[in-house]
Structure 1
Amino acid sequence: MSKILTIGEILVEIIATERGNGFRAPVPLIGPFPSGAPAIFIDQVGKLGQACAIISRVGDDDFGHVNLDRLRADGVDVSGIEVDPMGTTGSAFVRYREDGSRAFVFNIRHSACGQISLNDQTRKLLDDCTHVHVMGTALYAPSVIETILTAIGTVKAKGGTVSFDPNLRPEILGSPGMREALSAVLAKTDIFLPSGEELFLFASAKTETGAVEELLKGGIKAIVLKRGEAGATYFDGSRTISHPGFEVTEVDPTGAGDSFGATFVTLWLAGMDPAAALELANASGARAVTKAGPMEGASIRAELDDFIATAARKQA
């Protein structure tokens, strides 16, 4: 049986309840919500019943334990999460602007997850894993980059696979070594999951078709291009498959792409036909945006099936 591993930040998210531009004046807040792109991804994998784990660090504080409790309850192997008695769990404050975009204030590099490295426990965990999923947000510090690249090398050496979601945030693009790390991960990637214009950050071609062809020729087995509310498109060497998005009332989009990716990767590894996997992944992303909090809309398989069936009845 395959076991999916991810590595990177575990945070709490604090959400402003009023729209506006940033945090330069007092605003009402709700939270803490369990968060961090790798954590959201792996939580959704666990909800689907797939064996999975995460390597990370949290502080021995309430913010750390709210994440540990959620991940453990949803079926994630948390043995790779180090609890630092002297550390503080990372955080992300988010506020929606009037146009629907988001402003973030992150505490990652100077939190407990600012230093993630392999030890005897995590190396043993790594030996059990057959797939590594990389979130671009996790390439924020040299020690984390080194850990991720080591894990990729270990898993690929024994015939395993790698998926990569760039998930680029402007607030962290200047992190030391990030751009070089993005290229290094892409070179080992089997399935690539960019969102929208991210596709063109990794190819010289200026058209979607050209960029996809260029990336597939570089060794990537499949590309899944996320298009937000418009759905997603799957590409491999022989076919292109598109599936429209589902119409929902958006409450909080944070985590939707992570849930989508987790669902698609889990089903792809299980051998599901890409068209069916794409539909279920779109459903996962759509359900995720209907709840406030990045992990609150994570879905079990039965919920995804019911969601798709309900959408089909409405269209009939």
Structure 2
Amino acid sequence: MSKIMTMGEILVEIMATEVGQSFRQPGALAGPYPSGAPAIFIDQVAKLKQPCGIISSVGDDDFGALNMFRLSDDGVDISGISINKKVATGTAFVTYQKNGSRDFIFNITNSACAHLSLTPSATLLLKNCKHFHVMGSSLFSFRIIDEIKKAIEIVKDNGGTISFDPNIRKEMLKIPEMREALNFILEYTDIFLPSGADISMLTSATKEDEAIEEILDLGVREIALKRGRNGGSFYNRTEQISLPAFANSEIDPTGAGDCFGATFVVCRLQGMSAEDSLRYANASGALAVAHKGPMEGTSSFTELDSFINNTKVC
């Protein structure tokens, strides 16, 4: 099977235990949990028994070890993860608001993952892979953007394919170099995996259908649009498919979109139809939100089949 690679931040997540809890006063916390959008994505890929690996960097600390043990145990090739003895593993502290939103305090730009690079081991992994996944959240420094561009070109030169989950903050688009980087990635993208508003953020269109047309005109082969509680939609030049979400109790939404994207990509690489791939992706996202901790809800095909066969759609 095709080997899937990704590149970007690895961190731990530490969460407030009560809704409405503030970090401006002491309170109970849960964690640390292994996290980072690329790490969650690739862990879900591994759970589906697809060969995969990640390029990143962690500190020489327990947070780094926690992530490396978890990824390795689940089947991810971690030979592309370097250990930095000078800086700590990245962290994210999370609070949950009564309106359903979340607030994050990140240490990424000053952490080990900010120093990731295409080491000889990482470059070898890329030369042996046929699909590379890009997370917009990983584009937090121009040095890393340059490394990701190199990775994309290596995989494309090998005849491989690219998937891209924009997952970016709107203010990032005000930086001219960031807009240029996103346009570069989109031009190489085969599978585009935006969430609701992302589809319009990267185009000049004001309507969703116009934005989809504009993205496809760039050469993107297919789009899997994450709609959260409203399920997901698939678009290419000949098909438009929308499927409802599966009903499930939400405990923690972090990582659901990463699981959706990973499952969709694996299904498509394994030759499944767009409709079946979208159904599995919806199920993967729904299972993810039912667990506390961003990587705790990653699922196997056996678990997804059982969930699909025994769960109603919304």
- Identify the TM-score tier after normalising by the shorter chain: over 0.9
Deviation at 1:103, TM superposition (A): 0.3
1:49/1:175 CA distance change after superposition, 3 Å: farther
State the partner residue of 1:83: 83
1:53 partner letter = G
1:152/1:289 CA distance change after superposition, 3 Å: same
State the partner residue of 2:150: 150
SS of match in other structure, 2:164: strand
Deviation at 1:177, TM superposition (A): 4.0
State the partner residue of 1:242: 242
State the partner residue of 1:218: 218
TM-score by length of 1: 0.95
CA distance in 1, matches of 2:196, 2:232: 9
CA distance in 2, matches of 1:260, 1:173: 24
State the partner residue of 1:167: 167
Deviates more, 1:288-297 or 1:18-27: 18-27
State the partner residue of 1:68: 68
State the partner residue of 1:136: 136
Deviates more, 1:26-35 or 1:162-171: 162-171
Task: Check the 8 A contact 2:170/2:201 in 1, yes or no.
Answer: no
1:98 partner letter = K
State the partner residue of 2:231: 231
CA distance in 2, matches of 1:308, 1:204: 37
Deviation at 1:169, TM superposition (A): 4.0
Q: List aligned pairs for 1:246-257, cutoff 5 A.
A: 246-257=246-257
Task: Check the 8 A contact 1:3/1:50 in 2, yes or no.
Answer: yes
CA distance in 2, matches of 1:118, 1:176: 25
State the partner residue of 1:19: 19
Deviation at 1:175, TM superposition (A): 7.9
Q: CA RMSD in A?
A: 1.7
Deviation at 1:120, TM superposition (A): 1.3
State the partner residue of 2:35: 35
SS of match in other structure, 2:199: helix
CA distance in 1, matches of 2:177, 2:18: 35
Deviates more, 1:169-178 or 1:134-143: 169-178
State the partner residue of 1:297: 297
2:81 partner letter = I
Task: Check the 8 A contact 1:141/1:176 in 2, yes or no.
Answer: no
Per-residue CA deviations over 1:205-233 (Å, capped at 9, x if unaligned) read: 22111111111111000011110011000
SS of match in other structure, 2:188: coil
Number of equivalent positions: 314
Deviation at 1:181, TM superposition (A): 1.9
SS of match in other structure, 1:133: strand
Identical aligned residues as a percent: 55
CA distance in 1, matches of 2:173, 2:46: 29
Task: Check the 8 A contact 1:34/1:70 in 2, yes or no.
Answer: yes
State the partner residue of 2:102: 102
SS of match in other structure, 1:248: coil
Structure 1 gaps, min length 5: none
State the partner residue of 1:271: 271
